[in-house]
Every structure is written in C-alpha cells, then in structure tokens.
Amino acid sequence: MTSGVESAGRPSWAARRRLSAVFWRRGWLRGLLLLLLPLAFFALIYLAALVVLLISAFWSVDPLTTELVRTWNLDNFKTVFTEPTYRTIAVRTIGIAAAVTVTDAIVALPFAYFMARLASPRMRALLFVLVLLPLWASYLARVYAWRLILAKEGALNWTLDRLGLPTLDIAYSNWAMWIVFSYIWLPFMILPVYAAIERIPDSFLEASTDLGAKGWRTTRSVVLPLAFPGLVAGSIFTFALTLGDYITPTLVGGASSQFIGNVVYANVGIANNVPFAAAYATVPLLVMALYLVVAKRLGAFEAL
C-alpha cells in the first residue's frame, strides 16, 4: 500500500487519491456512474425493445405477406379480451401457474428447513449441490424424460402395476404439466426459502421454546412468518416461469393444454402475426406486474 509513495509513480497515486476524494464528497456522482452502466444497457436495449413490442400490439399484419401495417387499432386487444377461447387459455395458464407455485412451496418448505437446521455443514453442501445440479441437466431433456415416466406404458405405470395399484392415464394432460412444472422449478423455490430460514437466529427458536411453545406452534408462529418472504420470492420464479412457458405444454401437454405462451409462440414463431402475439402477451405482463407489486409489499425483494 505504501509502495507508490517513494517511487516515480507518486503523481498517479496522488491523482487516484484526489479522484476518490471527489467521489467520496460527491457520493451521488459515484452512484450515478455505477448506475449508468447497467441502466444504459437496460434502457437502450431491453426496455426500448419492450416498449416497441407493446406499441406494435396496436398494429396489424397483412395476411398474405405478413408485412406490418402501422394503422392504430384496438382489434387485437378486442379479440384477446372478448373471445372465450383466449379467456379459457389465460385462465388455464394462471390456474396451473398458481397450482405449481403452491405445490412447490409445500414441497420446498420442509426440505429447506431440513437443509438449514438439521443438516450438518457437509450434508448441507451436498444438498446444495444436489439441488443446483439439475439446473445443469438440460431443461428439455428433463421434460422429455417425464414423457417416458408418465406415458401409458411408461415408468410410473410400470411401478404402480408392480405394486398392484391402478394405473394412471395422465400422460399428455394438465396433470402431467402440473407435475412437470413443479419438478422443473423446484430448485428455484428451495433456494430463497432456504436462505430465509437460514437467517433465522437460533435465539428466536430457543426463546420460543422457553416461552412454552411446542414444535408445531413454533413452526407456525416463528418459522413460517420469517420464511414467508423467501416463499414469496421463490413464488415469483415459479409463477412467472410457468406463466410464460410454451415448451412444456408442447412436449407433455394434451389436447386441451394450450398456454398463453403457446398462442403467443404460434403467432410469432409460426403465423408471424407479432401484433396479435404482443397483444396477448400483455396478459402475462399485467398479471406479473400485479404479482410483483404484491410480492414487494410482502417483502420478497429483500429475500431474493
């Protein structure tokens, strides 16, 4: 640290001090420069792209050449919000997203509690690896493996048959999608919930026992409220990711399993009707905006 003082680099060292003094005194300058970098990236690329997309929802396309026709109209929105088909699809998407979120919360909570409080440090590290590793095994490959598990002559029915239980016909159905979605997003729920539980100081739980609360009471009154922000944070992922997905419905969905994402994709990637797709895409956009506002109130942003 003092090496620069005697050597010929002295002026630059002194200049650096002056520069950092400037930043210290004018704290906002430092903040501004730090912020400018990511903000520029976001504003100029991401936000601009989103805004243009939303604007195109008010336009339409020529059916034969699929050229963009820039006349302002509300036709797309009218279709999206009044046609019963699109309503059905939206309700189905939101419903399954909610079911997946609740399922993942229920599955993740005891697991996260175990990881945070019962596991030894080595076990904890192992569990971390076990939870993170599936994220590296291709999403597509894992969903495709579920096709095999849930098929009529697949692994699940084979096991049930061996156990003498009745076989299930849930392949290519909403049930299959619910299971697969819950499976895929589980790590995203486990991590924030674990982080939240892990932050609960031992002293809280000890105090609760000292005050006479039995196990379940402590869980209900101390652990759950403190883990809740983590649950909400995890739910942002499970809900949002399910809401916008179209690949799982394509791979394991059935005849009545169309999601908002499928309609959007069919209109963009297939019919090249971007305005209509953008109009329908406002539905998940609005839903998520609402969800984020609520999540913020519930403290999720601090628990991410």
Partner 1 sequence: MKKARYVMWAALAAFVGVLALTAAGCGGSSGGSSDGGGDTGALPTKIGPGEGALDLIAWEGYTEDQWVKPFEQQTGCQVNAKYAGSSDEMVTLMRQGGGGQYDMVSASGDASLRLIAGGDVQPVNVDLIPGYQDFFEPLKSPPHNTIDGKHYGVSLQWGPNTLLYDTEKVTPAPTSWSAIYDPKYKGEITVPNNPIQIADAALYLSTTQPDLGITDPYELNQDQFDAAVNLLKQQKPLIKKYWGLASDEIDLFKNGDVVLGASWPYQTNTLQADNVPVKDTIPSEGATGWADTWMLSAKAKHPNCAYEWMDWITRPVPQAQQAIFFGETPANTKACAEMDKIDKGSCAKYHGDADQAYFDSIKFWKTPLADCGNGQTDCKDYTAWQQAWTEITG
Partner 2 sequence: METRATRISLWAWMLLVVLFLYAPIAIIVVYAFNESNIQSWPIEGFTTKWFASTWHNQEVRDALLLSLKAALAATAIAVVLGTAGAFAVSRFKFFGRETISFVFILPLALPGIITGMALNSYFVTVGSPFTFGLRTIIVGHATFCVVVIYNNVIARIRRTSPSLLEASQDLGADGWQTFRFVTFPVISTALVSGALLAFALSFDEVIVTTFTAGAQNTLPLWIFGKIRLGQQLPQVNVVVAVIIALTIIPVYLAQRLSRESGILRRE
Name the residues that contact partner 1, by CB under 8 A.
43, 47-48, 51-52, 55-56, 61, 63-68, 70, 83, 85-86, 88-89, 147-148, 151-154, 169, 171-172, 250-251, 253-256, 258, 263, 266, 268-272, 274
- Among residues 135, 160, 165, 286, the one that binds partner 2 under rule CB under 8 A: 135
Q: 39 is in the binding site of which of partner 1, partner 2, none (Cβ under 5 to 8 A by kind)?
A: partner 2
Name which of residues 243 to 282 contact partner 2 (CB under 8 A): 243-247, 251, 260-261, 264-265, 268-269, 274, 277-278, 281
Q: Residues 80-119 vs partner 2: string with x where CB under 8 A?
A: ---------------------------x--xx-xxx-xx-
Residue 292, contacted partner among partner 1, partner 2, none, CB below 5-8 A by kind: partner 2
How far is Cα 299 from Cα 193, in angstroms, rounded to an integer? 13
Cβ contact 74:58 at 8 Å: yes
Beta carbon of residue 102, minimum distance to partner 2 (angstroms, whole number): 16
Min CB(99)–partner 1 separation in Å: 19
Phi, psi values for residue 61, rounded to 5°: -125, 150
